[in-house]
Amino acid sequence: MKNPLLYSFGTPLQSAPFSEIKPEHFIPAIEKDIKASLLAIDKITDQTAQPTFDNTINTLQNIGQLLERNSAILFNLNSAETSEEIQKITQQASPILTKFQNDVRLNQILFERIKTIYENREKENLTTEQLTLLEKEFKGFVRNGALLSEDEKDILREIDTEKAQLSLSFGENVLADTNDFSLHVTDEKQLDGLPDQVKEMAAEIAKSKNKTGWVFTLDYPSYVPFMTYLEDRTLRREMSLAFGKRGFQKNDHNNSEIILKIIELRKKRAELLGYESHANFVLEERMAGSEENVNNFLEDLFNKALPAARKEWEQLESFAKENLNLNQLEKWDTAFVSEKLKQVQLDLDEQLLKPYFPLEKVKLGLFEIVGKLYGLSFKKNQDIEGYHEEVDVYEVFNSQGNFHALLYTDFFPREGKRNGAWMTSYRSQKKGQRPHISIVCNFSKPTASLPSLLTFQEVTTLFHEFGHALHGILADTTYGALSGTSVFWDFVELPSQIMENWCYEEEALKLFAKHYETDDVIPMKYIEKIKKVAHFQQGLQTLRQLGFGFLDLSYHNKKATEIKNIKEHEKKILDRVQFLDDYPENSTSTAFSHIFQGGYSAGYYSYKWAEVLDADAFELFLEKGIFDIETSKSFKENILSKGGTEHPMTLYKRFRGKAPDPKALLKRAGLVH
């Protein structure tokens, strides 16, 4: 059988021919790609010519293109459409790829050439982008062990291989525990309070499992409304505890030891490279700059949010006692009671909003918004295949009508798909090559009688991920290594978080918030209430995010390896940001995929950091008009298209005309006036 991964794809726009790609194709292709890449690197190092940017750095950028493409397909499928076979292949591929990366980064002759170019960079007439790339390559080698002795390099190789495999296992364990649990209900009386759409979805899940009644899972579209609306407290408790047990049960999927091992390896690696901690290693290449700066940032926000959070919590408690006969709030009550309080305080039942947010109309409205802002248009292409029947593929065109990118959209939960929402790419942008971008979400599925109707939170999630997608779609750099989301990690959330602002603006809402049956635009009274939702319980929401930030840093600071018990440690860290009792059978850390499987280790603070940037940046849109052409053009030219070609603060100031003001976030959240 011909292996399609061995060649350039002869498909429309060189899109991945998913139906032709079999799991057994990956390893042979990756091994062949690595062999070809190493031979190409030998050609660079065997040169007798003096090292120059062109004969070394430039040449290096064009090596391993098939390898990059094939490994992107594999790891993306492992997140969005996995199977036991794909998981095994990914576990097999991970050490092979880690070894290759180390073979490149620890190649002394190659490093000496790069070092020579770096030390003599003033002598070459380099562009700003070329200088950034040169610095990135030089630092990349140094930060991956180029200055170590041969023995130390061997230790680094072992650490990296083990670390990569542990991260994969962590994610597999969370997915396994998520899939292993379901709650089967046969008495409809127990479902009082649940919206009809949620019940209908649960009935369809039951039917698919050959059961009568209703089945609920730990996937977000099932879990979140269950915890928010179900009157039956006993069932809420069961569901909540199951969610909190993921990766923390006495079974083969327990992540506790994996976490201890990962943090030990990360610290050992950082120390080997001359850093005090993994956090210091990571933060050297962030806008924040240091662990101390991040701590100060988080502490400052904590001190400003705590009084508001405490007041909101007391309000929640007294409301629960007076109206719901709940004398002691538990973890499984908070979403339920918050929703009831919101209905009273804001006179808003979020279920009344859902008919105005059918996924299809929201998506088309979103296309219209980015069309107004950035001149993009979207056309579904039925001839390009996705990796699952639910995946749609769009061609994206720029304002001149030229092809600009491919966009894959994948919106509903499945067994082979991890929870959450993310943006990724199957092909990066560089000179002469347009990107293939994908957004993956887990929204409520359509049912037999209803289309997919989104909660307002799901609407903001879609806008958020689309902001990331725009960073990829509008990328316009010479080098793939600096394109799109290849930016400082605490800058990467700016394009995504700024997009959420359009969800709260009347002028934008009128484009997409239309009733699924009547096509009526959402009433003004609801728009006013949506704006108030933005301030609802912001103190508590901020505290929750800060808790994740504090927990993340604590696993990666210089004392990280003193942690012996995951549960005891996280309790100590989270107690100050929580008003609830602890539950011994639950753990936050063991399903904290962002930092143990994704790329957010010592970087979770960046969500709040980017909120400061986005609040400050959006003030300019509010001042000039949310569809102001000059402002959106400047944001596109200085932020979205530039990727990592310059320092993010330079790019930000060029757009905004000044450094970001943290007060903008506190003001928007209603925490200061």
**pLDDT per position as a tens digit, 448-495:** 899 999 999 999 999 999 999 999 999 999 999 999 999 998 899 999
pLDDT tens-digit map of 24-68: 999 999 999 999 999 999 999 999 999 999 999 999 999 999 999
In a domain, 350, yes or no: no
User: 657 burial class (0-12, 13-18, 19+ CB within 10 angstroms)?
Assistant: exposed
What pLDDT, in 10s, does the model give residues 585-636?
999 999 999 999 988 999 999 999 999 999 999 999 999 999 999 999 999 9
Residue 207 lies in a domain: yes
Classify 325 in phi/psi space as left (phi over 0), alpha (psi -120 to 50) or beta: left
Please check whether residue 515 lies inside any domain of the structure. Answer: yes
Same domain membership, residue 623 and residue 564: yes
Contact by Cβ (8 Å): 586, 242: no
- Same domain membership, residue 290 and residue 172: yes
- Predicted local confidence at residue 664, as pLDDT: 86
Residue 438's contacts (CB-CB under 8 Å, 6 or more residues apart) are 76, 80, 407, 408, 409, 410, 423, 424, 425, 426
Judge if 33 and 80 occupy the same domain.
yes
Are residues 385 and 529 both part of a single domain?
A: yes
Q: Among 471, 504, 534, give the residue marking a domain's end.
A: 534
- Per-residue pLDDT band for 208 (boundaries 50, 70, 90) equals very high
Q: pLDDT value at position 343?
A: 92
> Phi-psi category of 12—alpha, beta or left, where left has phi over 0 and alpha has psi -120 to 50?
beta
Run of H or E residues at 229 = helix 220-229
Task: Please say which residue of 509, 534, 559 terminates a domain.
Answer: 534
**Are 390 and 418 contained in the same domain?**
yes
Quote the pLDDT of residue 652: 96
Average pLDDT, the chain: 95
Name 260's Cβ contacts closer than 8 Å, sequence gap at least 6.
563, 564, 566
Q: Which two tokens stand for residue 171?
A: 């994610």
Q: How many domains does the chain have?
A: 4
CATH number, domain with residue 590: 1.10.1370.10
- Judged by DSSP in three states, 392 sits in strand
C-alpha to C-alpha distance for 445 and 222, rounded to whole angstroms: 10
pTM over 0.75: yes
| SS3 assignment, position 513 | coil
Model pLDDT, residue 663: 84
Torsion angles phi and psi, residue 519, rounded to 5: 70, 10
Find the domain containing 520 and state its range. 355-534
**CB within 8 Å of 526: residues ≥ 6 apart:** 348, 352, 353, 356, 513
What is the spatial distance between Cα 115 and Cα 606, in angstroms, rounded to a whole number?
31
In a domain, 187, yes or no: yes
> In this structure, what DSSP letter does residue 590 have?
G
Neighbouring residues of 34: CB distance < 8 A, sequence distance ≥ 6: 67, 96, 97, 100
Same-domain check for residues 515 and 381: yes
Write the DSSP symbol of residue 453: B
Q: For residue 403, report the phi and psi dihedrals to the nearest 5 degrees.
A: -60, 135
DSSP-derived secondary structure for 115-168? HHHHHTGGGS---HHHHHHHHHHHHHHHHTTTTS-HHHHHHHHHHHHHHHHHHH
441 and 522 fall within a common domain: yes
Q: Which tens digit of pLDDT belongs to each residue from 251-299? A: 999 999 999 999 999 999 999 999 999 999 999 999 988 999 999 999 9
Q: Are residues 359 and 240 in the same domain?
A: no
Relative orientation angle of helices 291-324 and 538-554, to the nearest 10 degrees: 140
| In contact, 604 and 548? CB cutoff 8 Å | yes
Give the β-pairing of 436-440 and 403-410. parallel
Q: Specify if 438 maps to a domain.
A: yes
Alpha-carbon dihedral sign for residues 191, 194, 196, 197: negative
Share of the chain above pLDDT 70, in %: 100
CA angle 486, 489, 492 (to 5 degrees): 70
Q: Does some domain include residue 651?
A: yes
Q: Are residues 638 and 583 in the same domain?
A: yes
CATH number of the CATH domain containing 127: 1.20.1050.40
- Tell me the three state secondary structure of residue 224: helix
pLDDT bucket at 349, cuts 50 / 70 / 90: confident
Told to judge if 360 belongs to the known catalytic residues of this protein, a careful annotator would answer: no
pLDDT digits 0-9 by tens, 105-138: 999 999 999 999 999 999 999 999 999 999 999 9
- Is 401 in the same domain as 504? yes
In a domain, 103, yes or no: yes
| Residue 321 within any structural domain of the chain | yes
| Residue 470 to residue 189: CA distance in whole angstroms | 46
C-alpha span between 598 and 78 (Å, rounded): 13
Model pLDDT, residue 450: 92
Question: At 535, is the pLDDT very low, low, confident or very high (cuts 50, 70, 90)?
Answer: confident
Residues 30 and 89 in one domain: yes
- From the list 176, 154, 181, 331, the residue with the least C-alpha distance to 258 is 176
Q: Which residue in the list 200, 312, 465, 505 is annotated as catalytic? A: 465
What CATH number has the domain bearing residue 524? Answer: 1.10.1370.40
* Domain closes at, from 534, 554, 578: 534
Give, as one character, the DSSP assignment of residue 639: I
Question: How far apart are the C-alpha atoms of 466 and 378, rounded to whole Å?
Answer: 13
Residue 1: the pLDDT is 64
In this structure, the answer to whether residues 30 and 131 fall within a common structural domain is yes
Task: Characterise 594 by phi-psi region: left (phi > 0), alpha (psi -120 to 50), beta (else).
Answer: alpha
